[in-house]
Amino acid sequence: MKWKEPTFDDTSLIKVLAAANARRKADEYDYEEEQNKLNLTYPDWAKEWIKKYKEAWYIAEASGDRIAMNKAKELADALRDKLRKMTTIPEWAQQQMQKQTLRWMEANEVGNVRVMRLASKAEQGIEDKLKLIESMKQKWPDDAKTLNDLTAKWYYVDDNEFIPYEDREKYASPESAKAEYTKQAQEIIAKHEMPKKEERKEANEPAQGMGKAIIDNLRNDTSLGLSKEINDAMINITTTLLNEGYEPAFVAGVLGNIMAEGSPGKFESSAYIANPSAEPAYLKYMDKNYDYRNVFSGKNISEVGIKKTYAVLKELEKGGYVGKFGLGSVQWTGGRTMGLIQCYIELYGEDYYPTKAESLIAENKMIVKELNGDYYNKRVYQKWKSQYGNSNGADAAYWAGSIVTYKYEIPHDTDKQAEIRANNAKKVYKVMMGSN
């Protein structure tokens, strides 16, 4: 009998080596630098998961698996978005969001869809409570504070099965304490029962002075060759941003990007008929799993409705936005699309088909909300103002268009689009100022 040398399965060995190398890279990665770059702090529990997703990305990269790479990135980005959101909410809500986020990620890791859905539902309940409390703050601050405190106590008892010290003499058991907290909260809510839909305005407050001249110049212009939908969208957001105090040159930068994006309420098209290979992977995923081509692609939310859009976004959120789509004049994508649809819901409720004029109002609300928020205000507006705010108007508009592209819109083929949109901004600024 001849001696046969032992052999090893090459594929298995390669996988082991790839996993070990990915783990090493994930361990050596500079998370401090990443946090500084993103202006974000990773608590220990989140850092562990960011590291896991980083390791998964390196493993996928080693095998050339682009789908797995995208999934790992989307999961990490979704976690970062949650961390940003947590910095703006009360401590009780932070704790509950952390609990449900961990629950979802652990379930996702083993493919437990049922628990993922339960975690998402619990998280939505937390967000609904926060929105209710926030909506009461301006008119009824004392009741808003009481409702917040009752909610915090309810979750404390639910988590610990222990009554807060100040209430121990009042209630016989944790269950009776929770029941009383619920009763008091419902009494406050009933006292200030609010209509589900805000009054639907069809237009912004008109701009005054120079703002009015700018609007008139945009309305009367034909040199840009814009469709009525895009022109209306630009006029509407210009009015909003000028009324918020943004400089015309910066507004022109936003407009230069809107010119290159979409119409209010419009879904990104997946109909890459002439060049099917150019269709992004995330849209192929949508076509395959959600019949996106027939149900959403190229349509308007006025046809599809808020409820159906919200339902599919909740499903996509559970999967870390492996599938996603652009929506609206800015073509918000992924987690930002969820933020946009929540603006629609705040204005009109879920069971509604907004007109294009109403879509303008919702999308303007989203743009202002993002640009006024700490993250995008620092990343976009403050960066532009510090570097180019003192440049002459047309040049300042050019650089606003570029920064909005790189730091806010972030389209595919970013470098090429930044140049196109920066030049758009320069042209539209000249129209705004009547110097074209």
What is residue 310's predicted lDDT score, i.e. its pLDDT? 96
C-alpha of 243 from chain center: 24
Secondary structure (3-state) at 266: strand
Q: What angle do CA 246, 251, 254 make, to 5 degrees?
A: 130
Integer Cα distance of 283 and 276 in angstroms: 11
Residues 6+ apart with CB under 8 A from 193: none
What is residue 201's predicted lDDT score, i.e. its pLDDT? 41
- The single residue listed with the structure tokens 């972030």 is 410
- pLDDT band for position 199 (50/70/90)? very low
Mean pLDDT of the chain: 87
3-state secondary structure 332-347: ECCHHHHHHHHHHHHH
Domain residues of the chain, as ranges? 12-88, 104-194, 210-264+369-432, 276-353
Tell me which residue of 314, 308, 313, 311 sits closest to 353, measured CA to CA: 308
Residue 4 in this model has a pLDDT that exceeds 70 = no
Residue 196 in this model has a pLDDT that exceeds 80 = no
Integer Cα distance of 12 and 20 in angstroms: 12
Strand (E) or helix (H) holding 387: helix 383-388
What is residue 209's predicted lDDT score, i.e. its pLDDT? 61
- The single residue listed with the structure tokens 């992977």 is 281
What is residue 394's predicted lDDT score, i.e. its pLDDT? 94
What is residue 8's predicted lDDT score, i.e. its pLDDT? 47
Residue 202 in this model has a pLDDT that exceeds 70 = no
Q: What is the pLDDT of residues 318-374, one digit of tens each?
A: 889 999 999 998 889 999 999 999 999 999 999 999 988 789 889 988 998 999 888
What is residue 260's predicted lDDT score, i.e. its pLDDT? 83
What is residue 343's predicted lDDT score, i.e. its pLDDT? 94
DSSP per residue over 284-345, as a string?
HHHHHHH-HHHHTTT-BHHHH-HHHHHHHHHHHHHTTSSS---BTTTTB-THHHHHHHHHHH
What is residue 247's predicted lDDT score, i.e. its pLDDT? 92
- pLDDT band for position 390 (50/70/90)? confident
- pLDDT band for position 68 (50/70/90)? confident
Residue 46 in this model has a pLDDT that exceeds 80 = yes
What is residue 1's predicted lDDT score, i.e. its pLDDT? 45
For the chain, what is the radius of gyration of the CA atoms?
25
Residue 157 in this model has a pLDDT that exceeds 70 = yes
> In the predicted model, what is the mean pLDDT of residues 390-415?
90
Higher model confidence: residue 364 or residue 424?
A: 424
Residue 267, CA atoms < 13 Å, CB-side half-sphere: 27
What is residue 108's predicted lDDT score, i.e. its pLDDT? 84
Q: What is the pLDDT of residues 103-151, one digit of tens each?
A: 999 988 887 877 888 888 888 889 989 999 998 888 889 999 999 999 9
